Amino acid sequence: MSEAEPAPESAQSPFPEALLHAVAALPGLPGVYRFFDATGQLLYVGKARHLKKRVASYFSRRHDGTRIGHMVGQIERLESTVVRSEAEALLLENNLIKSSQPRYNILFRDDKSYPYLRLGSGAGRSGASAAGPAQPPEFPRLSYYRGAVDARSQYFGPYPNGWAVKQSIELLQKVFRLRTCEDTVFQHRSRPCLLYQIKRCSGPCVGLVSAADYARDVQDASAFLRGQTQALQSDLERRMLDFAEQLAFEQAAEVRNQISSLAQVLQQQAMENVRDQEADILAVKVQGGRACVNLAMVRGGRHLGDRPFFPAQVADGALLAALDEGADEDGEGGVQESTEQPPQSLEARVLEAFIAQHYSVHSPPPLLILGAPVSAHLIDLLIQASAHKIHAVWQPREQRRVWLEMAQQNADLQLARLLSEEGSQQARTRALAQALDLPEDALERLRIECFDVSHSAGEATMASCVVFEGHKMQSAQYRRYRIEGITPGDDYAAMRQVLLRRYGKLGPAQDPGAVDPGPESEAGRARWPDLVLIDGGVGQVGVARQVFEQLGADVGRLVGVEKGTGRKVGLEELVFADGRDKISLGADSAALMLVAQIRDEAHRFALTGMRAQRARTRTGSSQLEDIPGVGPKRRARLLQRFGGLRGVAAASVADLAGVEGISTELAQQIYRALR
């Protein structure tokens, strides 16, 4: 199209007049646009170099009878945000996709941060050391770390999972014998620990290694983690020969053993490569309406493992991506290089969505090895956003090809596992619906909520509500409730209270007593669940029936899960609130497997909440939490310094002010609050 403008305003236009005016008023600048339906639900988020041309393309073409037409037909209003460049638009677009989860975007959920290996500045030990009794030296600690990084320590990673970090720590302990103990343990040791005895630590806590020697080991470990293995081996060999020439054979033997350990570690790392020090390998597989992107990481020249990602809304998101692609060609132009064909496959579009969303949060490495071709324009935007050069390789050779083949194999296996699990879970949902005479025409919308109560001899009573919907547990909709004002240990009263609070107004997110509030679907707030499971027998179900009758709800949706003879798994019986006879589904029943899964999850969620509440009560940290200005870090430092709340309460203002982060004014406030 020559100039993308919205269709003329007329009686035949299927779009609201206000929407067409909003499109016509858009500027020709880079930015992000958002489409909403009549209920205000976000449908789609997109970016553009030229907002007006991109958005107008949706309304100037006919999409009759297509899924794209179905989406466009739902648009009632739009919002836009103008930014300075398309790179900024890319970042904003993917931040909005992650936070708002639009219905028609390919969505990757990656809420977990990546772990790092940290070489931190450890506290020195007062007293004599091998280097002499002068100032206490610093002995950095080797540790697992997850969170924001700072300049006070060295960080290596990120790693795909915690196991990869712990394995690297074990390897470094064997070769360089760096300490891993907490600073509080390190400062109060009077004799070396077991790690020293098994030659996994050099014993800096009791002065068995000089500060200079330990610093050299730290430097060598840092070089190893950066992939400088050849230079490190050469340096160790030179050091061994120097000791031998000086007739210091004992020290030469120590370095020889270190060289031997390092050689063994490098032999174990069959994937080691000296050319590519930092790289991400991205393989993609699409099958059965689902997709998997497998991310493998190479850091310091070593292959650290991989991590699978499973996007939602693959088909709808790919269709909208294709429409945007057409707008690029017709309306904006110049996006694709003349020698490059735009990616047509579904795999390529899924991979582009992952790259855009993942690297809007995590810094990309210099090398990306890809299992499908992606737009060179996307890589250019990543370079602008990250401010360093990024090289993307498709159809690699040699070692890179081996890496990609391994990642592709893992993507195939992970997707096959997911499809198998989803098929099994859907079969369980259908079996449960058949066993309980529930409608089978909309199993995707079948919503089950399960309640359990947990306490420790009446102490710290906590109730849980977990949700099963869409053939899977919906952890974002879980709720915990602190149970108060009842006789300790009265499970019936606890069950009555949690059901009244959950269903009394059909709005748990508005209940001030709910713990860990999180996002809940509009559907969950607008309708009762199809089935309510109660972890308990006739007594608990009777209480639940009273609550439902009080609220005017259908008691037919209430089912208790009663433990069988000897409380053995597989012998549970279902108790119905509407008077039907108990039924035993049998240990091999798919329906019972699903009921047990939901019941066990409710029990786990209640138990962990109860234990956390009990720990807060017993340690008194809840008293510290009530003091303004004392957050989790300061509270942890206080309890660690004084050995618990009793020690904090007995401390003077001067002692409290001696804790890092505690000012004199705050120390006085803590002193007064605990007395």
Distance CA 232, CA 245 (A): 20
Q: Is residue 10 in some structural domain?
A: no
Q: Is residue 528 in some structural domain?
A: yes
On whether both 85 and 173 belong to a single domain, the answer is no
| Cβ neighbour number for residue 432 with a 10 Å cutoff | 24
Q: Is residue 574 in some structural domain?
A: yes
Domain boundary among 600, 616, 632: 616
On whether both 139 and 57 belong to a single domain, the answer is no
> Total domain count for the chain?
5
pLDDT tens for each residue of 84-139: 888 888 888 888 888 888 888 888 876 567 888 888 764 444 443 433 333 334 78
Q: Please say whether the beta carbons of 482 and 475 come within 8 A.
A: no
**Mean pLDDT, range 600-612, rounded to an integer:** 91
Distance CA 246, CA 249 (A): 8
On whether both 249 and 328 belong to a single domain, the answer is no
CA 390 to chain centre: 25
Distance between first and last Cα of the chain: 77
On whether both 407 and 466 belong to a single domain, the answer is no
Domain boundary among 100, 135, 157: 100
Q: Is residue 332 in some structural domain?
A: yes
Range from 163-177, 393-407, 472-486 carrying the lowest mean pLDDT: 163-177
pLDDT for 122: 45
Nearby residues of 372 by Cβ (< 8 Å), 6 or more positions away: 284, 343, 345, 347, 348, 351, 394
* The Cα angle at residue 613 between residues 617 and 521, in degrees rounded to 5: 150
**Mean pLDDT, range 341-358, rounded to an integer:** 81
Output the six-digit token pair for 193. 């620990």
Q: Which residue has the tokens 């050299």?
A: 216
Residue 668: give the domain boundaries: 620-673
Domain boundary among 268, 288, 315: 268
Residue whose C-alpha is closest to residue 297's, from 178, 98, 118, 163: 163
The confidence band for 294, taking pLDDT boundaries of 50, 70 and 90, is very high
Distance CA 639, CA 341 (A): 62
CB-side exposure of 492: number of CA atoms within 13 Å?
Answer: 9
Output the six-digit token pair for 526. 């607008």
Distance CA 499, CA 511 (A): 12
CA 150 to chain centre: 21
pLDDT-above-70 percentage for the chain:
80
H/E stretch holding 353 reads helix 346-358
The confidence band for 306, taking pLDDT boundaries of 50, 70 and 90, is confident
Q: Which residue has the tokens 């300490």?
A: 179
On whether both 318 and 233 belong to a single domain, the answer is no
CB-side exposure of 657: number of CA atoms within 13 Å?
Answer: 10
Is pLDDT of 452 > 80?
Answer: yes
Range from 29-43, 508-522, 529-543 carrying the lowest mean pLDDT: 508-522
CATH of the domain at 66: 3.40.1440.10
Residue whose C-alpha is closest to residue 437's, from 580, 564, 540, 588: 580
Pairing of strands 302-309, 367-370: unpaired
DSSP one-letter string for 584-640: ---TT-HHHHHHHHHHHHHHHHHHHHHHHHHHHHHHTHHHHHTSTT--HHHHHHHHH
The confidence band for 567, taking pLDDT boundaries of 50, 70 and 90, is low
pLDDT tens for each residue of 86-101: 888 888 888 888 888 8
Q: Considering only residues 152 and 280, tell me which one the structure prediction assigns the higher pLDDT.
A: 280
pLDDT for 519: 41
The confidence band for 528, taking pLDDT boundaries of 50, 70 and 90, is confident
Distance CA 104, CA 44 (A): 5
| Radius of gyration, alpha carbons of the chain | 31
On whether both 69 and 138 belong to a single domain, the answer is no
Q: What are phi and psi of 650, to 5 degrees?
A: -85, -10
Amino acid at 100: S
CATH of the domain at 506: 3.30.420.340
Range from 35-39, 410-414, 426-430, 584-588 carrying the lowest mean pLDDT: 584-588
Distance CA 366, CA 383 (A): 10
On whether both 188 and 215 belong to a single domain, the answer is yes
The confidence band for 239, taking pLDDT boundaries of 50, 70 and 90, is confident
DSSP 439: -
CATH of the domain at 370: 3.30.420
CATH of the domain at 627: 1.10.150.20
Q: Please say whether the beta carbons of 120 and 152 come within 8 A.
A: yes
CB-side exposure of 430: number of CA atoms within 13 Å?
Answer: 7
pLDDT for 650: 83
Is pLDDT of 33 > 90?
Answer: yes
Q: Which residue has the tokens 């509500």?
A: 465
Report the chain's mean pLDDT, rounded to a whole number.
80
Q: What are phi and psi of 35, to 5 degrees?
A: -105, 135
- 0.75 exceeded by pTM: no
DSSP one-letter string for 32-69: EEEEE-TT--EEEEEEESSHHHHHHHHHSS--TTSHHH
Output the six-digit token pair for 167. 């394995």
Q: Is residue 167 in some structural domain?
A: yes
Distance CA 424, CA 429 (A): 9
Residue whose C-alpha is closest to residue 606's, from 489, 503, 466: 466
Q: Is residue 430 in some structural domain?
A: no
pLDDT-above-90 percentage for the chain:
21
On whether both 237 and 301 belong to a single domain, the answer is no
On whether both 316 and 344 belong to a single domain, the answer is yes
H/E stretch holding 445 reads none
Q: Which residue has the tokens 């589904």?
A: 585
**Which parts of 108-216 are beta strand (E)?**
115-120, 141-146, 154-156
On whether both 155 and 236 belong to a single domain, the answer is yes
Q: Is residue 205 in some structural domain?
A: yes
Q: Is residue 437 in some structural domain?
A: no
On whether both 610 and 531 belong to a single domain, the answer is yes
Question: Which range, 25-34, 188-197, 266-275, is most confident?
Answer: 25-34
pLDDT for 154: 85
On whether both 655 and 567 belong to a single domain, the answer is no
Residue whose C-alpha is closest to residue 595's, from 417, 436, 419: 436
